[in-house]
């Protein structure tokens, strides 16, 4: 039977500590809130008053409940007033020395059975707990900001934390209306350990001028459904806070991917801390404002607007898979004449049937009129011979991810397609320059990485090689906008933007599971509830396919030779065993 917690101490009344105190009081618990001085108490009271006033105005608290919340919280500057607390939650600034000293003092004051919890987001609970005479009763209880709103709590056990203490704190978190996840004591816990490696990688890509801040952020929003792009999120978190978390993670992991990118330190030194100072990766109209304003880095409304665009009226698509037929639909719906080339007449008709089936679904849902569907289909001409693509202004290759096959297609296109036509590949990971090298016109070759399903997904990654001409890039940009897509630009490097950021994060999650640091359900919950991601990493891996994920991760590792990109052995073992995800019914989870 879980122990009862009735009186809770909260030490530290900054934004997080005040939020925790409010959550506790709103649950009906008695709270003793401690600050170093009266000024700190007044600031803490101000946070709680402001937050509960908003809840009252929105109807989330009535007048009686509002009054009760405040009546349940008492304030003090004396730690001795925590003597009768059943649980004390520390929420002071992220200093290991200060936290350790505080826990040593609390250990002398609270009753022997009381539990001591730290709200640290990255520091070692073990190193904090050893400064007490009760390390078995010390846990991490990491709330997310703002505590009254966000549901996730990370409960961190050390190698000596008593199992019943973990179980009791889990039940306590559920009583607060939170979703608790349990993990071992490692820098960053779950959410930050996975999130900040990804954020730091995005900063490195920006620092290397591989992509603009806008394109990095748009790629992850439109390509992965993330609520915010990585650089905008860093501005919200605060670059100084991010730097400290990464430093702590690197000190423990010695993983070079956790070493803060140099530009972070430079920006912090210059006072560019993000939203709180009004400038970070973006410029805001005032400190603490979410409104971004134009600055020297803001790109022009259209890429390369001073470059003459090539005329594109007829589009060829080579391939019969889902990606190929989706691209055919995208262009035909926007009024382009499309030639759909397949290896045989039967395959061409089958591919055309896929396009019809997709359009029929739109008709059935009332999103498309029957006559409009017929007009779209009339624009699509099935073909078998490469020569039938001769008059196309743009030909998009969408065959399997096999470099030899793609090179053969580009070689064939080079022989028949008219001069000045643009040749594009939809590859998601192979070098675009390798396709271009199979032709006599590398300046006309560009990557156009659509995302599946192409008719629905908004993002297209435009990949230019060292040979791609400026007018080809500009034409590709304009075409993407014309067919209703959001184009982002990047260099010809493994993974482009989305896969380069996404798959190392997924690989890190597998390594976390492999180390028995947390289970798959808790890791998925942490990233969905704590970070607002549409899917947890293991859900996503099973959808993508473990074999596909492994192939992409190997490509990234082989290109960058970065130890942190090496595929997790567990991922390799599952693929070898035939557990490939949903398509085989078994992956990280079993599916009926």
Q: What is the pLDDT of residues 178-232, one digit of tens each?
A: 999 999 998 889 999 999 999 999 999 999 999 999 999 999 999 999 999 999 9
Q: Which residues lie closer than 8 Å to 449 by C-beta, 6 or more apart?
A: 426, 427, 428, 460, 461, 462, 463, 496
Active site includes 154? yes
Same domain, 453 and 502: no
Residue 175 has pLDDT above 70, yes or no: yes
Q: What are the tokens at 165?
A: 């203490």
Annotated catalytic residue 192: yes
Query: Would you say the C-alpha torsion 34, 36, 37, 41 has a positive or negative sign?
Result: negative
* CA dihedral over 546, 550, 556, 557, signed as positive or negative: positive
| 340: β partners | 317, 382
Give yes or no: 171 in active site: no
pLDDT for 61 equals: 86
Question: What CATH code is carried by the domain that includes residue 339?
Answer: 3.40.50.720
Which of these three, 449, 467, 491, is where a domain ends? Answer: 491
Neighbour order of strands in the sheet with 152-157: 73-76, 30-34, 7-11, 87-90, 115-118, 138-143, 152-157, 179-184
482 and 422 within one domain: yes
What is the Cα–Cα distance from 290 to 292, expressed in whole angstroms?
6
pLDDT at 242 over 90: yes
Provide the pLDDT confidence category of residue 4 given band limits of 50, 70 and 90: confident
Contact predicate 361/326, CB 8 Å: no
Give the contacts of 573 (CB within 8 A, at least 6 positions apart).
Answer: none
Interval 34-64: pLDDT, tens: 999 999 999 999 999 999 999 899 888 889 9
- Tell me which residue of 92, 82, 103, 60 sits closest to 7, measured CA to CA: 82
- Section 84-111 average pLDDT: 96
Q: Are 87 and 9 in contact (CB under 8 A)?
A: yes
Separation of CA 248 from chain center: 21
From the candidates 51, 121, 358, 549, give the one annotated as an active-site residue: 121
How high is the pLDDT of residue 303?
A: 47
Do residues 216 and 262 make contact, with C-beta atoms less than 8 angstroms apart? no
In a domain, 261, yes or no: yes
Of the listed 47, 131, 142, 449, which one is catalytic? 142
Q: Which of 172, 163, 117, 159 is nearest to 141 (CA)?
A: 117
pLDDT, tens digit, for every residue of 18-37? 999 999 999 999 999 999 99
Give residue 300's pLDDT: 61
Assigned token pair, 407: 């090179």
Say whether both 108 and 241 belong to one domain.
Answer: no
Q: Once rounded to an integer, what is the mean pLDDT over residues 422-432?
A: 94
Sheet of 394-397: strand order equals: 380-383, 337-341, 314-318, 394-397, 422-425, 445-450, 459-464, 486-491
Looking at the fold, whether 411 and 554 belong to one and the same domain comes out as no
Backbone angles phi, psi at 579, to 5 degrees: -90, 95
User: Are 479 and 540 part of one and the same domain?
Assistant: no
464 and 503 in one domain? no
Indicate whether 225 and 275 sit together in one domain: yes
Whether 298 and 288 have beta carbons less than 8 Å apart is answered as no
Same domain, 271 and 195: yes
> What total number of domains does the chain contain?
4
**142 catalytic residue (yes or no):** yes
Residue 468 in domain: yes
Catalytic residue, chosen from 22, 35, 154, 397, is 154
Q: What 3-state DSSP class applies to 307?
A: coil
Which residues form the domain of 380?
314-491
Output the CA–CA distances (angstroms, integers) from residue 290 to 242, 274, 591, in the order listed: 18, 10, 42
Indicate the helix (H) or strand (E) that contains 49. helix 38-57
Question: For the chain, what is the mean pLDDT?
Answer: 94
Query: For position 255, which CATH number holds?
Result: 1.10.1040.10
What's the average model confidence in pLDDT over 54-75? Answer: 92
Q: For residue 588, which of 339, 577, 239, 126 has the smallest C-alpha distance?
A: 577
Element (H, E) at 215: helix 213-224
pLDDT digits (tens, 9 = 90+) for 332-355: 999 999 999 999 999 999 999 999
pLDDT of 264 strictly over 90: yes
Q: Is 359 part of any domain?
A: yes
> What pLDDT does 121 receive?
86
Does residue 305 register a pLDDT over 90?
no
Residue pair 414/434 in contact (Cβ under 8 Å)? The answer is no
Task: Answer whether residue 302 shows pLDDT above 50.
Answer: no
**Helix, strand or coil for residue 74?**
strand
Structure tokens at 180: 């608790």
Whether 21 and 44 have beta carbons less than 8 Å apart is answered as yes
Structural domain contains residue 300: no
Domain termination residue (choose one: 137, 155, 184): 184
| Chain segment 157-172, per-residue pLDDT in tens | 999 999 999 999 999 9
| Residue 267 and residue 375 in one domain | no
Question: Is 443 found in the same domain as 337?
Answer: yes
Flag whether 2 is in a domain.
no
Residues 156 and 175 in one domain: yes
Contact 525, 181 (CB under 8 A): yes
Percent of the chain at pLDDT exceeding 90: 90
Give the model's pLDDT for residue 455. Answer: 95
Task: Tell me the C-alpha to C-alpha distance, in Å, between residue 314 and each of 299, 338, 388, 420.
Answer: 30, 6, 12, 13
Instruction: Report helix angle 345-364 to 370-378, nearest 10.
Output: 160
At which of 184, 217, 237 does a domain end?
Answer: 184
> For 215, how many CA atoms within 13 A lie in the half-sphere containing its CB?
24
- Return d(Cα 196, Cα 527) in angstroms, integer: 12
The answer to whether residues 43 and 150 belong to one domain is yes
| pLDDT at position 141 over 70 | yes
* pLDDT (mean) for 403-409: 96
Length, in residues, of the chain: 592
Handedness of CA 137, 142, 146, 152 (dihedral sign): negative
- Domain membership flag for residue 531: yes
């Amino acid at each position: 039977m879980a122990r009862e917690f009735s009186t809770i101490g909260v030490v530290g009344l900054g934004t997080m500590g005040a939020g925790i105190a409010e959550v506790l009081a709103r649950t009906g618990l008695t709270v003793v809130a401690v600050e170093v001085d009266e000024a700190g108490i007044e600031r803490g009271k101000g946070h709680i008053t402001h937050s509960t006033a908003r809840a009252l105005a929105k109807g989330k608290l009535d007048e009686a409940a509002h009054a009760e919340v405040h009546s349940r919280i008492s304030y003090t500057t004396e730690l001795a007033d925590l003597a009768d607390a059943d649980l004390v939650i520390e929420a002071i600034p992220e200093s290991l020395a200060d936290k350790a000293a505080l826990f040593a003092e609390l250990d002398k004051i609270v009753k022997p059975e009381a539990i001591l919890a730290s709200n640290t987001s990255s520091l070692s609970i073990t190193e904090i707990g050893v400064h007490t005479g009760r390390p078995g009763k010390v846990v991490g209880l990491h709330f997310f900001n703002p505590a009254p709103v966000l549901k996730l709590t990370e409960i961190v056990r050390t190698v000596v934390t008593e199992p019943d203490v973990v179980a009791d704190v889990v039940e306590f978190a559920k009583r607060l209306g939170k979703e608790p996840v349990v993990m071992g004591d490692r820098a960053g816990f779950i959410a930050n350990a996975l999130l900040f490696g990804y954020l730091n990688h995005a900063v490195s890509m920006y620092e290397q001028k591989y992509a603009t801040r806008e394109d990095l952020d748009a790629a992850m929003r439109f390509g992965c459904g993330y609520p915010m792009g990585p650089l905008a999120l860093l501005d919200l978190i605060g670059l100084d806070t991010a730097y400290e978390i990464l430093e702590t993670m690197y000190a423990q992991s010695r993983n070079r991917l956790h070493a803060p990118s140099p530009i972070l330190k430079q920006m912090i030194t210059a006072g560019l801390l993000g939203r709180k100072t009004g400038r970070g990766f973006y410029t805001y109209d005032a400190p603490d404002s979410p409104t971004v304003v134009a600055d020297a880095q803001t790109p022009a409304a259209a890429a390369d607007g001073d470059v003459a665009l090539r005329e594109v009226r007829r589009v060829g698509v080579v391939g019969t898979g889902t990606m190929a037929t989706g691209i055919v639909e995208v262009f035909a719906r926007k009024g382009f004449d499309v030639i759909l080339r397949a290896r045989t007449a039967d395959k061409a008709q089958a591919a055309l049937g896929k396009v019809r089936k997709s359009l029929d679904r739109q008709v059935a849902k009332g999103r498309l009129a029957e006559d409009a569907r017929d007009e779209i289909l009339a624009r699509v001409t099935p073909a078998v011979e490469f020569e039938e693509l001769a008059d196309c202004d743009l030909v998009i290759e969408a065959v399997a991810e096999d470099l030899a096959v793609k090179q053969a297609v580009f070689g064939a296109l080079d022989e028949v397609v008219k001069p000045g036509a643009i040749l594009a590949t939809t590859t998601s990971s192979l070098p675009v320059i390798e396709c271009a090298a199979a032709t006599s016109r590398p300046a006309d070759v560009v990557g156009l990485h659509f995302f599946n399903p192409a008719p629905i997904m908004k993002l297209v990654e435009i990949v230019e090689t060292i040979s791609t001409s400026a007018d080809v890039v500009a034409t590709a940009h304009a075409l993407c906008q014309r067919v209703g897509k959001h184009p982002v630009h990047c260099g010809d490097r493994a993974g482009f933007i989305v896969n380069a950021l996404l798959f190392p994060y997924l690989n890190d999650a597998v390594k976390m599971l492999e180390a028995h640091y947390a289970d798959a359900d808790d890791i998925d919950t942490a990233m969905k509830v704590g970070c607002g991601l549409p899917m947890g990493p293991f859900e996503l891996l099973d959808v993508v396919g473990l074999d596909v994920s492994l192939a992409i991760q190997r490509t990234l590792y082989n290109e960058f030779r970065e130890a942190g990109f090496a595929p997790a052995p567990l991922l390799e073992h599952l693929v070898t065993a035939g557990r490939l995800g949903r398509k085989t019914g078994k992956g990280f989870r079993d599916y009926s």
